[in-house]
Amino acid sequence: MKKTTTDFDILIVGGGLVGLTVALACAQAGFSLGVIDISEPSEQLADSHDGRASAIATASFRMMRALGVADALVEGEDTHAGPINQILVSDGQAGQAPSPLNLFFDSAQISEANDGEPLGYMVENRRMRHALHTQTKKQDGITWIAPAQVSDIEASDDKTTITFDDGKTLSAALLVAADGRNSFVRQHAKIGVTAWPCNQKAIVTTVEHELPHNGIAHELFLPAGPFAILPLTGNRASIVWTETPRAADAAMALDDDQFAAELARRFGDFLGWVKPVAPRWCYPLSFQHAKTYVGDRLVLVGDAAHAIHPIAGQGFNMGLRDAAALAEILVQARAEGRDLGGEFTLAQFESWRKFDNTALTHACDVFNKLFSNNIGPLKHARRIGLSVVDKLPPVRQFFMKEASGQVGDLPPLLRGEAYT
Ligand SMILES: Cc1cc2nc3c(=O)[nH]c(=O)nc-3n(C[C@H](O)[C@H](O)[C@H](O)COP(=O)(O)OP(=O)(O)OC[C@H]3O[C@@H](n4cnc5c(N)ncnc54)[C@H](O)[C@@H]3O)c2cc1C
């Protein structure tokens, strides 16, 4: 291979949750990286930046351990990862008991495949961001370039060159776009997307409740969309309350007492009293999938490639799988003396990730459409469907393994194997 001099092996545009994970995975494998973000790192680390919590699947959490990020999630006696031991999915109406025809997943039923681990862990995004920043500072090979505004990108036969708005330039063999659903890099490369709105918004907040949740995640399907109660550490839960845009805007406009009362009506009293303890956040939901994940010396990862409904808590997990697959493909390319940004290398990324992501993005969309309505026959069918899956152990186990991220061709990091 002809040796070209570049500033870095890899440049990443977007230092969010997925971009930083790509940086850690590739730096641990010995590559040099520049991470460019439009915002100040201190802005991203402010508690006011992101009120969400993410369900991190078992395999994804193994990757976080392999990258040292899980260690950074522990502060003294405190761990910021709450185990998800069980998941209860049911159909219902606000203010009424859930349908008895439900679906129950228990980590004990796949304990062998899971090495006795839970189905996943709930981690607040602000904690995950802190842990990723802490670990990127410890890891050799990562240079932060932020805040910085990219104005142009030009790929040639042997490198890609980024120009910033102050006229400075940086080059690398490969550019990774991790700049989120409105990706500047994707648009600059003229990569189109398949997209449609979900006609829903998700209200997110954190609540405290009286009784312990015992690590049980609840997904209650209400007519306007899912209402999820997700177990955080302590007697706390992250709420993802999906509504039509009009109802979500109205709920956001309620005063604190009115909001708490509406939330409690949906929540029920199975965990005793419940009270919101964090600001409310509102996220418009839409489906978006890039037509291709690769361009000239370019790959798309995370929400820049695929942004999905949070119904199954899979968006970040998909981005982590992109990161693990990309690191492994680049390690193999280096071992075989291939160009990191060459077409053959990039085609392997596309074929490894596109099929998996296409299946999951569409499954989440169909699932949301099926459950977010009050049409009588559909309601009846889905209640029966839930209870049928519940009564068939092999099918239930398949769904549990899927939720814990353990199906398909797993790259080493997702098996918990570090590069060093
Ligand atoms: C309500 C809700 C709940 C969710 N729950 C879960 C869950 O439980 N589990 C799960 O797996 N997923 C979940 N998700 C999805 C998950 O949050 C996203 O998939 C994930 O945050 C995507 O991360 P990302 O790094 O790809 O993008 P982003 O988080 O959008 O990060 C993009 C980064 O790029 C930077 N950037 C943007 N533009 C530029 C530019 N022009 N130049 C340089 N930098 C730029 C930004 O500053 C940012 O740092 C949820 C999503 C929602 C809406």
**Is residue 86 domain-resident?**
yes
Range(s) of the domain holding residue 343: 8-195+286-415
- Residue 102 contacts residue 89 (beta carbons within 8 Å): yes
The rounded Å distance from CA 291 to ligand 1 centre is 19
What is the helix (H) or strand (E) element at residue 172, kind and residue range? strand 169-177
Task: State if residue 51 touches ligand 1 by the CB under 6 angstroms criterion.
Answer: no
Task: State if residue 17 touches ligand 1 by the CB under 6 angstroms criterion.
Answer: yes
- Across the range 253-263, mean pLDDT stands at 97
**Is residue 271 domain-resident?**
no
Number of residues that make up the chain = 420
Report DSSP state, residue 143.
E
What pLDDT score does 375 carry? 63
* Helix pair angle (315-335, 58-66), 10° resolution: 50
Please check the confidence at residue 251 and state whether its pLDDT lies above 60.
yes
166 by Cβ neighbours in 10 Å (0-12 / 13-18 / 19+) ranks as exposed
349 Rama class: left (phi>0) / alpha (psi -120 to 50) / beta = alpha
Please check the confidence at residue 247 and state whether its pLDDT lies above 90.
yes
**Is residue 63 domain-resident?**
yes
- At 309-353, the pLDDT tens digits run 888 888 999 999 999 999 999 999 999 999 999 999 999 999 999
Q: pLDDT confidence of 376, banded at 50, 70, 90? A: low
**Is residue 336 domain-resident?**
yes
The rounded Å distance from CA 310 to ligand 1 centre is 12
**Is residue 218 domain-resident?**
no
**Is residue 314 domain-resident?**
yes
**Is residue 227 domain-resident?**
no
What type of residue sits at position 66?
A
Which ligand 1 atom sits closest to the C-alpha of 320? Answer: 11
**Is residue 206 domain-resident?**
no
Task: State if residue 19 touches ligand 1 by the CB under 6 angstroms criterion.
Answer: yes
Can you give the CATH number for the domain in which 35 is found?
3.50.50.60
Nearest to 405 by CA among 189, 113, 179, 149: 113
Task: State if residue 282 touches ligand 1 by the CB under 6 angstroms criterion.
Answer: no
Please tell me which residue, 375 or 226, carries the higher pLDDT value: 226
Cα gap 33→36, rounded to integer Å? 10
- At 377-401, the pLDDT tens digits run 556 666 666 565 566 666 556 666 6
DSSP-derived secondary structure for 40-65: -HHHHHSGGG---EEEEEHHHHHHHH
Cβ neighbours of residue 172 under 8 Å, at least 6 residues apart? 6, 7, 8, 9, 10, 11, 34, 159, 160, 341
Task: State if residue 150 touches ligand 1 by the CB under 6 angstroms criterion.
Answer: yes
What pLDDT score does 62 carry? 95
Nearest to 374 by CA among 90, 91, 89: 91
The count of structural domains within the chain is 1
Task: State if residue 13 touches ligand 1 by the CB under 6 angstroms criterion.
Answer: yes
Cα gap 378→371, rounded to integer Å? 8
Angle made by CA atoms 395, 397, 399, in degrees to the nearest 5: 75
Nearest to 350 by CA among 308, 304, 315, 300: 300
Q: pLDDT confidence of 33, banded at 50, 70, 90? A: very high
Mean pLDDT over the full length of the chain:
90
